[in-house]
Structure 1
Amino acid sequence: MNSENSNIILKISDMNVHYGGIHAVKGIDMEIKKNEITTLIGSNGAGKTTTLNGIMNVVKKSGGKVFLDNVDITSMETHRMVEKGVVLVPEGRRIFPNLTVLENLRLGSYSRKDSEKISEDFDWVLTLFPRLKERLKQLGGTLSGGEQQMLAVARGLMSRPKVLMLDEPSLGLAPILVKEVLETIEKICEEGVTILLVEQNAVGALKIAHYGYVLETGKIVLEGPAKDLLENDEVRKTYLGVTV
């Protein structure tokens, strides 16, 4: 496990999630360090999305604890977690297609009262995603897949998160857009937002991450600095498609 507790912003301890008779997440432990990108990789059905949903109480945990800045948030309602600074951008974008880009972004800040800071963050996300600036009056549903993904991330940032959890942000995007999305995630982290990234594109994720966890059938089977995982023969063979 990572050392230096003061550096750990989000800690997941012995978390379990059951779907009916299926034990989907099996006693996982993770520590997310401040101002770093931590990635969770694994094949389809390994339990990556369930892990994020379990942290956020979108699905009910059957055991374990979640701490934000050493405060127990295990049973906190999802909307309260957002207010406290833990935000999930779910797989599949989930923007509001019948609202404009501007309205989608405004909804991201609905729980905030600091109007001056909201205005600053609005300018910031449009600097990160200049393409959205040109489309503020456009309906979300008319954007391309890549633009919708940008909008989903930008909307998440409008909540001013301490920890931004991203579920498969590059899914279904053209390679050039995948590169752009990953570069933007790096930039967001450099601006002081801690990121927990779930990605099918394990190579891309490990290249930008500081630390990584490998999930297999609901269990963490490997963890370490991302650069070490990139060079690990087992990871290369199983998840990166490299013959070793």
Structure 2
Amino acid sequence: MLKSFARHQIGICDLCGLPYTHGIARWCLSCAESLFDTAIHCSQCGLPLGEPAQQCGECLNTPPNWQHLVCLGDYQAPLSHYIAQLKYQGQFPVAKDLAQLLMMAIKRTQVDEVWPEALISVPMHWRRRWRRGYNHSDLLAQSLSKQLVIPYMPKALVKNRMTPTQQGQNRLQRQSNLRGTFTFGTLPSNIRHVAIVDDVVTTGSTILEITHLLHEHGVKLVDVYCLCRTSAGQM
């Protein structure tokens, strides 16, 4: 799958430690391939399916308010290791490398789909961003924008209040925490199709809240591009 994306470069693979002459970002072709989940996922919610199908039963009965979700895989090593490097250790080059893998997953799954007109990222409250110094989702979206050649709108959304950490909370708790958290910022009025970029989607509560807001302001179609899709019990 990745051979068409590989380029001639000499390096040492970040995972296996072996030298390579053709690779993807910081990985040899074999290790880069291992970062992609081979399981079949629902095209709408992104959770694993037990059998070949486009959508899971829950999405067929009560679909979420977004159209497609594309992810690299589940939240487990080594992907979780690289996400932690970006999110908590400030290793900014990881954003470009992970975005390159995500770009490949998107191009593989959206061959016949209509592409979004803009990318937006999940915003961080200004106080939390000030403490950390950056928003990892913003860095990921910046890199993905360049690789997909789709405009990135960093001011489309604003997070107007601090929320407790979502880790360990169930869907209802997360939805309660997030209600009214985001406000609409700046987005050209003619844009009708956007993709939300984030690192990990767990219950989907954040995406649900943001999508509601986007629909209220004229956006018709929403896709989700994330590194990992997982259930709340795995975080």
TM-score between the two structures when normalised by the length of structure 2: 0.32
TM-score between the two structures when normalised by the length of structure 1: 0.31
